[in-house]
Structure 1
Amino acid sequence: MCARCLEVTRRSLLAGGGAAAAALHAGVATARIRPQDMVPLVGPGYHPAERDEIGLWKEMERVEEEVAGSNLLITDPRITGYLQNLIGTVGGPAAKDFRIYLARIPEFNAMMFPTGFAVVFSGLLLRMRDEAQLAGVIAHEAGHFLRRHMIRSWRDQKRKTDLFSIGAMLAGIGGAGAGVYLGDYVQLAELGTILSLFRYSREMEAEADAIGIRNLAAAGYEPMAMSTIWQQLIGEEEASARYRGKHRHKGGLFDTHPSEGSRLVDLKADALELTVPGKVYDRHRDRYLATIGPIRPMLLDDQVKLNDPGASQYLIETLAQDGWDGLLRFNEGEVWRLRNRPGDATRAAQSYAAAVAYPDAPADAWRWHGISLMKQGRGAEAKAAFARYLTMKPDAPDAAWVRQMAG
């Protein structure tokens, strides 16, 4: 692999343009655009008729080929089918034309491309507490397509940007389509770079919010779900900054999204207008968790290994507001164990002990509970924990060692 490929990391992927491209991560309008004032500018089966947009679509078709062939994609048909159904539910009149892909990258991000395909990062799925929140993110992304923000932004950028630079970006993004393998992270970083050309204005972001929340409500979801996402994300950023002894960075993802900012206020005002008085909304948390259940351990593990204890602990505690379980308690213990500051071993041991009290505790919770008990001199209890681990995971790579510890 080339030296450039080795330099690409998950963080640099976002810095390379994913954050600029993610529709949910851009600016705020100074005056609220009301949902009832937003109408779709495209219908089902939309195809461009103007020359520059036709050319853009051809390049984006090559981009989609690249995305569809990436080794970073999560291809579980139950999960991908669920996402496809969801965008078909909240995507407005063009809903059936959308395609959606799930990439295993533990960051909050989602991108809508000009031809109607979207890429969702796995870290976004982890952060959603229920289906209503996820539907809100996807509805916003679809809103950019319905209001034709991509081509409007593209034309604006062409007036301001060196056309040769744009051409080079388009040529580079088609690398995999031309048979040049760049590596999966590099490919997705290039996608972020090309999407940085579609910098949505504050007015466009407000339009996507307004039409997205309208479609969300029309599909029967609780409109207030969209504003709760922002509160959670801002809280996570603040927790991460506190752990590092810094102030929350107001640039990048949250450039114009302070918790008291106008976007949060506007989303809440939109939600109040669209909420049906007296209606009891089902946010479909159980259905959501049942769908992502097979990959939820992986999502949590990926997050914990980012080595951002402040963000990880905040995220776990946020998810636990809907109820603790063995998986969340185990990963809480992993946060403390991997941080490894004075007192963290005790905290981790307490979390592992709490985890194994739940019927859904993963096998590794019993392993680390046993190790913690051994360190405390509670040999008999440790052996029982190890025995439980071996029952759940008899072919574990460390099974021989654990059997020896268990006597």
Structure 2
Amino acid sequence: MNEMNLTRRSILGGFGCACCMGMVGAAQARVTPAEVDPMIGPGHRPTDKDEQGMWQLYERAERDIADSNLLIKDPGLTRYLGGLAEKVGGPTAKDMRVYLAHIPEFNAFMAPTGFMVVFTGLLTRMRDEAQLAGVIGHEAGHFLRRHHIRGWRDTKRKSDILTVLSMGAGLGGAATGAYLGDWVRLAGMGTIFSLAAYSRHMEAEADALGLKQIARAGYDPNAMPETWEQLIGEMRATARMRRKLPRREGSLLATHPAPQSRMTDLRISAQEVRGLGTGADRGKDRYIRALGAHRKTLLEDQVKLNDPGGSLYILNSLAADGWNGLLRFYEGEVWRLRGEKGDNQRAAEAYAAAIAYPDAPPDAWRSHGYALIKMGRGDEGRRALQRYLAMAPNAPDAPMVRQTVGL
């Protein structure tokens, strides 16, 4: 395993530990939305030494994140995410900053200083704005309930925090003599985030406050339990196709366990907050418009993870609101890349279905054309390739495709 992979694992593991420590044991009693309100207001600044020291670490972490080449620096999409955080974050929302990291894992985390990092894998899986608002609302709940300093102090009581910090400072640098750039910087930040452990009760508080916040913003609160159900379904689909037990490492499922009891709590709480707002907004069209051309990149990233079970589950979940050419094309790509018996036929059928939609990407016509040629339907295949060339005349593979069609 190369150093890059090890560093990437430390990133995901560090961020994950921030929330998963202290998660074992008996189930907590449900925290009702009526029990929780924000504990901080706009412009909050630390006043005691513990919190001031913690803020200094996170302020340095934010500077590293802001300079990272792993960020997607699309002003329009960043404004959209920031606006959504402001919409569900309550009175302190104007203190929040949102960064989008190009990492195809389902994760998001919030810092006590008010910045949030969203992984692109989270956006890949969201069916609409309401579901995304639920995740952001949950993370904002940790911030608003001051869970970071509460977890930090608990960690200090249980271990020598300075030892942990000194270990984090050495990540990826002098020990290997290698410069791994942004991965190393994020790995160090993962160590910092692992210092503030969330208890089960804190997670329940974040769920309850997040539901209250999105309901007040007018979103359908049922979007929040839906998201966790989808994640559980994805984990099980991955395991079934790999014929292995479900794994949680490196994902938000690792940091936010979601057993059936938690689903039940979320559903009950969702009904309790319905009267706080209109409770009907899903924002699907707004969400798709905000992603724009990035949606193709996000789906491509997912398909390349070599997780056919999880990828197919995600595509079918997104298609619950209706199939389109982009989703059908990537369904074909999942089967093509898996390459087991019968998969080429499955891929060909998906490509053929994709081109029936007006939004089919040019790549769908190319893949459909080559699939037809393999089936002995050369004339039809070449016509499909010509359609591809008309849609993407300057594509990197256009010269090769022109040679195939005899142009």
Normalising by the smaller structure, the TM-score range is over 0.9
Partner SS for 1:373: helix
Give the residue type in structure 2 aligned to 1:34: T
How far apart in 1 are the matches of 2:393 and 2:325? 20
Task: Pick the aligned partner of 1:154 from 148, 152, 155.
Answer: 152
Alignment of structure 1 residues 280-319 onto 2, 5 Å? 281-319=280-318
Give yes or no for contact 1:169–1:194 (8 Å, CA) kept in 2: no
How far apart in 1 are the matches of 2:164 and 2:92? 28
How big is each residue's C-alpha offset from its partner over 1:120-142, in whole Å with a ceiling of 9 and x where there is no partner? 00000011100001001001111
Alignment of structure 1 residues 75-86 onto 2, 5 Å? 75-86=73-84
* 1:371 paired residue number: 370
Give the residue type in structure 2 aligned to 1:18: F
Task: Pick the aligned partner of 2:63 from 62, 65, 69.
Answer: 65
Give the residue type in structure 1 aligned to 2:108: A
Partner SS for 1:276: helix
Give yes or no for contact 1:23–1:205 (8 Å, CA) kept in 2: no
Partner SS for 2:70: coil
**CA drift at 1:183:** 1.6
Give the residue type in structure 2 aligned to 1:166: V
Partner SS for 2:376: coil
How far apart in 1 are the matches of 2:394 and 2:297? 19
Query: Quick check: 1:245 aligned with 2:243?
Result: yes
**CA drift at 1:399:** 1.2
How big is each residue's C-alpha offset from its partner over 1:268-291, in whole Å with a ceiling of 9 and x where there is no partner? 111011113995612010000111
Give yes or no for contact 2:222–2:267 (8 Å, CA) kept in 1: yes
Alignment of structure 1 residues 7-26 onto 2, 5 Å? 7-8=5-6, 10-14=8-12, 16-21=13-18
Q: Structure 1 residues 254 and 85 mapped into 2: Cα distance closer, same or farther (>3 Å)?
A: closer
Give the residue type in structure 2 aligned to 1:320: A
How far apart in 2 are the matches of 1:318 and 1:9? 31
How far apart in 1 are the matches of 2:79 and 2:22? 25
More moved, 242-251 vs 86-95: 242-251
Partner SS for 2:245: coil
Q: Calculate the TM-score normalised by the size of structure 2.
A: 0.92
* 2:272 paired residue number: 273
How far apart in 2 are the matches of 1:117 and 1:184? 18
How far apart in 2 are the matches of 1:325 and 1:24? 41
Alignment of structure 1 residues 44-63 onto 2, 5 Å? 44-63=42-61
Q: Calculate the TM-score normalised by the size of structure 1.
A: 0.92
* 2:30 paired residue number: 32
Give the residue type in structure 2 aligned to 1:399: A
Give yes or no for contact 2:354–2:360 (8 Å, CA) kept in 1: yes
Give the residue type in structure 1 aligned to 2:340: R
Give yes or no for contact 2:215–2:278 (8 Å, CA) kept in 1: no
How big is each residue's C-alpha offset from its partner over 1:219-269, in whole Å with a ceiling of 9 and x where there is no partner? 111111110001000000000000111122477754684552x21111111
% identical equivalent positions: 57
Q: Structure 1 residues 4 and 332 mapped into 2: Cα distance closer, same or farther (>3 Å)?
A: closer
Q: How many residues align?
A: 399
Q: Structure 1 residues 222 and 154 mapped into 2: Cα distance closer, same or farther (>3 Å)?
A: same
Please list every run of 5 or more consecutive structure 2 residues that lacks an aligned counterpart in the other structure: none
* 1:326 paired residue number: 325
Please list every run of 5 or more consecutive structure 1 residues that lacks an aligned counterpart in the other structure: none
Give the residue type in structure 1 aligned to 2:88: V
Query: Quick check: 1:394 aligned with 2:384?
Result: no
Give yes or no for contact 1:217–1:275 (8 Å, CA) kept in 2: yes
**CA drift at 1:92:** 1.6
* 1:111 paired residue number: 109
Give the root-mean-square deviation of aligned CA atoms: 2.5
How far apart in 2 are the matches of 1:286 and 1:25? 39
Partner SS for 2:219: coil
How far apart in 2 are the matches of 1:343 and 1:4? 34
Q: Structure 1 residues 167 and 210 mapped into 2: Cα distance closer, same or farther (>3 Å)?
A: same
Partner SS for 1:8: helix
Give the residue type in structure 2 aligned to 1:114: P
* 1:208 paired residue number: 206
How far apart in 2 are the matches of 1:37 and 1:224? 19
Give the residue type in structure 1 aligned to 2:159: T
* 1:165 paired residue number: 163
**CA drift at 1:158:** 0.9
How far apart in 1 are the matches of 2:371 and 2:105? 31
Give the residue type in structure 2 aligned to 1:389: Y
